[in-house]
Amino acid sequence: MDWLITGRVRGTFGLEGFIKIESCSGEYEHFLSLKEIMLRLPVREAEEQCPEITYQVEECVVRTTDALLKLRGINSPEAAKKLHGADILVPRDMACPLERGEFYINDLCNSDLVYKGNSVGTIADVVEGGGGFLLEVSEAATGKTVYIPFRSQFIGKIDIPAKQVELMHRWILE
């Protein structure tokens, strides 16, 4: 099953173990129909990879600027606090519906980064930086990893079906 990150656990709410969530898209209505989510917990000091745990959703409350989820087995603020910072993943068909011209950030991964018709790298990941999203690119010529701001000054046409993303300026790879 194809899972997409649709939000992040930002805190706890109440005494029953509700988690407060922030949506990546800013839209919360799609959370109301969720029966199951996967949480990708932040890496702790001794761990090499992020643990992923599946939870059944017992209740969802959509508020003005966030939503609250009650997960089966999380019954106290202390248990909910351990989930803080976790990414919320849902099956692709349960994610926020796309409008024309939109795409999921995850769909950029494994796309070719193209400059003037030539592949100059592969997008390995999309990460959050201080000023917005960054494309983590494995450069074709050297194999080194570079980070490119995901902004219109640097990124042109995005062709999701062809798995190609246009790079506007070659110098940013240097």
Topology (CATH level 3) of domain 3-94: Elongation Factor Tu (Ef-tu); domain 3 (2.40.30)
Report which of 38, 52, 53 is spatially closest to residue 94, judged by C-alpha positions: 38
Domain with CATH 2.40.30.60 in the chain: 3-94
pTM: 0.75
Q: For the residues of 44-113, what is the DSSP string, one character each?
A: PTT-SS--EEEEEEEEEEE-SS-EEEEETT--SHHHHHTTTTPEEEEEGGGSPPPPTT---GGGGTTPEE
CATH of domain 105-173: 2.30.30.240
Per residue of the chain (174 residues), give pLDDT as tens: 688 899 999 999 999 999 999 998 888 999 999 999 999 988 765 556 668 899 999 999 999 999 999 999 999 999 999 999 999 999 988 888 888 888 888 889 999 999 999 999 999 988 887 788 899 999 998 989 999 999 999 999 999 999 999 999 999 988
Every domain range in the chain assigned CATH 2.30.30.240: 105-173
Evaluate whether 151 touches 138 at the Cβ level (below 8 Å): no
Is 122 in contact with 135 (CB distance < 8 Å)? Answer: no
